[in-house]
Each structure stands twice: as C-alpha cells, then as structure tokens.
Structure 1
C-alpha cells in the first residue's frame, strides 16, 4: 500500500486502495475516491445539489455573469450562499467558486450519509479532500518545467479541505493573468476555488508574487498557495510540503 492516497489531476493515475469512479451530469464531471462504488448515489446527489442552483440562476442571471462579488441573499439556497461568501472573500464573481462548492457539497453528503468514511471529490481539477491518510496532489502547469514533476502533500490533519487550481494555460476556467498554475489550499473548497481565480488574475510577472502574498496574509483558514510561472515557483504557507514525483 502506498504511503499516500494518490489524487490524480486529469485522472491519469491513482495509487490508493479506495474505489475510483466517475460521475457526469450536465456540466459537472466528477472523479471520486470512496470506500466503495457510489456512482448512483453520487449522481443523485449532484442532481439534488444542482437543482436549486440552476433555479436561482434562472431568476438571477447576474449571478451567472458577474465578475465581481454580489450582495448576500438570505433567501438563497445554501449552495448559493456558499458561493456568495467565497466570492466576497476572494473579490471575484460567485461562479468562480462553483466547481469547488459542488465538489464539497457532494463529498460532505457522502460522509454525512455514512456511505463512506473518507472521500475525495475532484471537479474539473478542484478537489475536496476528506481522507484518513496524507494526500499527494500532482501539479499540472501547462508547459512549465515544473508541470507533472512536483506534487503538494496535504496532511490528513488539515482535512477536510479544498485544493483548487486556476490556470491561464490549462482548462476552461477564466483567468485574467498569465500564470501557468495557481493552486490554493483552504478549509473551504468553494473559497479555495474563488481564491485561485483571484490570485491568478493578478499574476502577470514573477514580481506579482508579492501581491499574492499581501492578499493571502489577510485570508482566514488559508492553508497555502503554490503559483507557477514558467520556471518560477512561489510557495506561501507553512503547512504546505512539496515533493518531486
């Protein structure tokens, strides 16, 4: 048995005794690790989680389009409130946290229903972790020499937590910066997702790492950041450990 529970980005490898399965529903594409195959249960959860979010967006189209935080809404569904809070913390639009929010909602529901005692849910590269062992998360950063060569080691004592990545080079998420990858580890996955977008937006040169550090110092429950720009790497947070793959 491997020392770590392997959490693959792009789902290429997984050195873990946990069962891996995929669930796809509309835009949501999940890769899940659990103690048994929970495909049908997870699909049902995704539908239940998305339904109030989709209904809210129909009535509030600005929620979908805004690139800036929106006011709190006491009448909104819980997932919408989660995304609004994350957006407020990060200073971005609420949809910046949607993948992380869904990942955590699904993972916590599987745990609360006692369908599994540990779980990892990856949604478009944004991961909710609640495992009993340390997790090694590979970092993919476009054509940077660090891409696929290093991994973040997330200690189990810091879980549950979210590990989310924004990139100007990889994936379909919007980034206003030029970083190859910005990975954020935060106690809340939606917030990690939104912060990854926020930090990524300000990174255009390695000198901008200072701006990220200044912003990061003000964020509660932030466990760490790794940012990559070509052959430069920036690490923030004493809880993070990086290993070669």
Structure 2
C-alpha cells in the first residue's frame, strides 16, 4: 500500500485479498477493504450511516465548544462533550497537541468497529487519508510514499497478523492537505490505539524541521511506550525504531 495525496494507493491493495469500496461524506473519504468471503453489500450503508451520525454529533458539539476544533494545544472538553471527543482529547494530550489531530483515526476506528460488530469478518482495513485501522489474518507489507524523497516507495513496513484491531497513521509536511509544522516526507506511527497513532504521527511530524532532526525525534519518541513502531523519512534521511520489521522494496 502507498500513502500519498492522490489516493491512487487504494488500488495497490491486493484485490484477491481485499474487496474494497469507498464511503464519503463531506470531508470524510474512507476506503474499506474486507476479505472477499466476508463482504456483504449492507456494509456500505452501515458505514455510511456511521460517518454521517458521527459528523452530526461533532458538528453539534463544536457549535458549543468551537475551541475543540481550533486548539493546537491539549484541550479539556466539557462534561457535556460526546465520549468520542473526550477520547480524541485524551489521545492528543498524551502527544501534546490539539484534539483534532486524532479525528481521522477516530472516524476510521468507529466505522471499523461498526462493521466488526455487525458482520463476521476475517480481515478488515479502514483507510482514512493515510490513517489505517486494521485487523489482519496474515502478514501485510505497506510501502511508504514519501513525496520527492529518494527513499519514497523503497521502504516497506511489515505488519504481522494480529486478531485485535490496531492503527497505523502517517503524517507528512510535504505531502497531503493536513496541517503539519514540520518538513518530513513521511512519519509513520504504529499503536494499538489508532487515536494515539494519529496524534503521535502529527506531533512527531511537527518536530522534524530538517533531515538533521530525524535522529533527535526518534530518540524523543523513546519516552512513549504506546508507540510500537516509528518510521521517519525526510529527504535522504530515515529513522526507524520499534517492533515492526522494515523491508527494502527496491
């Protein structure tokens, strides 16, 4: 799988392994893949209803607490906040940034859980702008697109089979529409909790101001035991830490 702005990477998933479809609502654009034997046409409507319901919930909440959306620093929601907003704020606080840093991961997770609760699925991938919620029966290798870097698509992240769902999230300062205050071509974070992966990817990406910062940021990430693996690419520099194997693809 490739991670880059045009989203043509969605065609890179093995069509024999994953039967995929897209669900969209306003800014949300999800790609959902399941093993073909588990596919049910009703998954489309279930996923669509979930993202529309979530968006309505957040729109109503943000009308009351607009700083939840605007804050670039940790934010404490009011007692009236929906539980999803509280979870986003808690994940973002651990990473030291604003709660909206976890919104893509939240939507991917919520749709993933909705499908897992309503259907019998062997394998599941929910991709939301480079943030991925997964349940895997077999190993999967993800190739990382890193903009103009010479390392782009040359490094593969090996994801082992794992029955429990987990998250892989990517942030970039040179690729994609999301806000980043760094210049990394790709910062990939693996966590059991996709909201944490999303928030940490953004937070660590903000810290990469030049290729010389890669090693420093890798060391800083050591204090976060929640991060299972971290991959940073900035121009011709790469930094790697964690449990997942990295594989040279070209």
Distance 1:158 1:144, change over 3 A: farther
Q: Which residue of 2 aligns with 1:119?
A: 124
Residue-by-residue CA offset, 1:38-79 (whole Å, 9 max, x unaligned): 222211111122221221111111011100011254432121
* Distance (Å, rounded) in 2 between the aligned partners of 1:178 and 1:20: 32
Match status 1:226 vs 2:225: no
Gaps of 5+ in 2: none
Give the secondary structure class of the aligned counterpart of 1:141: coil
Structure 1 residues 201-210 or 127-136, which shifts more? 201-210
Q: Indicate if the aligned counterparts of 1:111 and 1:118 stay in contact, CA closer than 8 A.
A: no
What root-mean-square deviation, in Å, do the aligned CA atoms of Structure 1 and Structure 2 show? 1.8
TM-score (norm 1): 0.91
The total of aligned residue pairs comes to 239
Structure 1 residues 221-230 or 110-119, which shifts more? 110-119
* Distance (Å, rounded) in 2 between the aligned partners of 1:57 and 1:206: 37
* Distance (Å, rounded) in 2 between the aligned partners of 1:159 and 1:116: 12
Give the secondary structure class of the aligned counterpart of 2:231: strand
TM-score (norm 2): 0.89
Q: Which residue of 2 aligns with 1:103?
A: 108
* Distance (Å, rounded) in 1 between the aligned partners of 2:102 and 2:92: 7
Q: Indicate if the aligned counterparts of 2:211 and 2:236 stay in contact, CA closer than 8 A.
A: no
Match 2:171 to one of 166, 172, 179: 166
* Distance (Å, rounded) in 1 between the aligned partners of 2:194 and 2:243: 19
Q: Which residue of 1 aligns with 2:25?
A: 25
Q: Which residue of 2 aligns with 1:146?
A: 151
Residue-by-residue CA offset, 1:67-97 (whole Å, 9 max, x unaligned): 0011254432121112101110111111111
* Distance (Å, rounded) in 1 between the aligned partners of 2:164 and 2:146: 24
Match 1:189 to one of 182, 194, 205: 194
Deviation at 1:164, TM superposition (A): 0.7
Q: Which residue of 2 aligns with 1:4?
A: none
* Distance (Å, rounded) in 1 between the aligned partners of 2:245 and 2:83: 30
Runs of 4+ off more than 6 Å: none
* Distance (Å, rounded) in 2 between the aligned partners of 1:60 and 1:115: 38
* Distance (Å, rounded) in 2 between the aligned partners of 1:157 and 1:116: 13
Gaps of 5+ in 1: 1-6
Q: Which residue of 1 aligns with 2:69?
A: 64
Deviation at 1:12, TM superposition (A): 2.9
Q: Which residue of 2 aligns with 1:3?
A: none
Match status 1:87 vs 2:86: no
* Distance (Å, rounded) in 2 between the aligned partners of 1:159 and 1:226: 22
Distance 1:223 1:159, change over 3 A: farther
Deviation at 1:32, TM superposition (A): 0.7
Match 2:220 to one of 182, 192, 215: 215
Give the secondary structure class of the aligned counterpart of 1:173: coil
Deviation at 1:155, TM superposition (A): 1.0
